[in-house]
Amino acid sequence: MINLSETPLSFDDPTGDATKHLARLISFDTVSCNSNRALIDHMAEYFRDLGGRITILPDETGAKANLIAAFGPEDKAGIVWSGHTDVVPADEPEWETDPFQAEIKDGKLFGRGACDMKGFAACVMAVAPQLAQATLTRPVYLCFSYDEEVGCLGAPAIAEHLAQLSVPPEFAIIGEPSMMKLITGQKGKIAMRAHATGTAGHSSFAPEHVNAIEFASKAVARISERGKRYEQEGPFDHDFTVPHATMLVTMMQGGVATNVTPDNCTLTFELRSISGMAPEQDMKLLLDEITREITAPMAEKIPGTGIRFETIFSYPAMGDARETDGFKRYATLLPAWGGKVSYGSEGGVFEQIGGIPSVIVGPGSIEQAHKPNEFVDLDQLEECVQFLSGIIDFLAPQ
């Protein structure tokens, strides 16, 4: 079997080079718990050799980093092509190939990150020689982040950096898998964890204790009620498959034995919001209600008991960019509209923190993401390469 990651680039066949770049990127194990620096250094060297202006933004540990490679003039409002470099774990026994060694079969390239979302990064790398040779009228910023899969942790630093440029970008394309359809909205998310603390004791003396699971269940009921309220009262955006915000409990754990009053219970819950909401305010109102009506009676019965909350992560919703100047500049180049999506991306971060209107367009299907035997169709890579190449031609008229 040919090792695609070691096959030389041709530089005159961008689609073929995209598959080779993708194989190389897949070979870097950038599961979110690992460092992405080797991959970032690889990409930075490649773009630097092509003449890109390189900025590396490390995290506080130095083990992870974002990359920005800029091409073109600095005195005009440009466009961002953005992707994340981390992937989800690939531990499932159902994998039929080595998840970190790309394989091509039946017109598909298999490997962890093939569609989510190293495929887009590979297409960007494939057209970078064209980008470097073009006389661009506006700059193109190639941005690659860390830790998107665990809460969009790296993207804020990129958005802040871009916002501080003398002339910030006016538009961003996020290359999440969309089957190369235009996605103009994405829900935001606040992920929370609640820790209920009660008192342990023999279950035959239950009235003397504070049952952590019982009180946590009351919190679950309040969370569920809030979710039902969104479903019934909105706000609504019918471009989404689920046209309203959602709130639900996703995990619950507690207790030690069948005959012991549980002194602990932990639950996780989430709010997925649509653009135009004030999700942080909504969450605060809910937590204040739980504290006032559930935690206070616990502590009144036995001091030291109660429910405390922590935010696991959050990222904002991405609004509809179709009325912005940046969108209108590139509108004729963008693919057919594919609606709005409930999964997360860094688009909301670029919009909210960087002030950059954003859309999602990328190769592959979200249905293949986060699963064993992840793949991207080769014709999707070809379509993405042609799309990006068309933007370069638009920005560098002959």
Q: What is the pTM of this model?
A: 0.92
pLDDT value of residue 13: 82
pLDDT value of residue 11: 61
Buried-state track 295-316, b at ≥16 Cβ within 10 A, e below 16: beebeeeeeebbbebeeeebbb
Q: Dig out the tokens for 105 from the structure.
A: 């079969």
pLDDT value of residue 3: 59
Q: Dig out the tokens for 346 from the structure.
A: 């860094």
Q: Dig out the tokens for 209 from the structure.
A: 């204790």
pLDDT in tens, the chain (398 residues): 445 656 666 566 878 999 999 999 999 999 999 999 999 999 999 999 999 999 999 999 999 999 999 999 999 999 999 999 999 999 999 999 999 999 999 999 999 999 999 999 999 999 999 999 999 999 999 999 999 999 999 999 999 999 999 999 999 999 999 999 999 999 999 999 999 999 999 999 999 999 999 999 999 999 999 999 999 999 999 999 999 999 999 999 999 999 999 999 999 999 999 999 999 999 999 999 999 999 999 999 999 999 999 999 999 999 999 999 999 999 999 999 999 999 999 999 999 999 999 999 999 999 999 999 999 999 999 999 999 999 999 999 87
> What CA–CA distance (Å, rounded) separates 226 from 219?
11
Q: How far is CA 181 from CA 16, 124, 330, 359, 380, in A?
A: 22, 17, 15, 10, 11
Domains and CATH numbers, the chain: 4-185+318-395 (3.40.630.10), 188-315 (3.30.70.360)
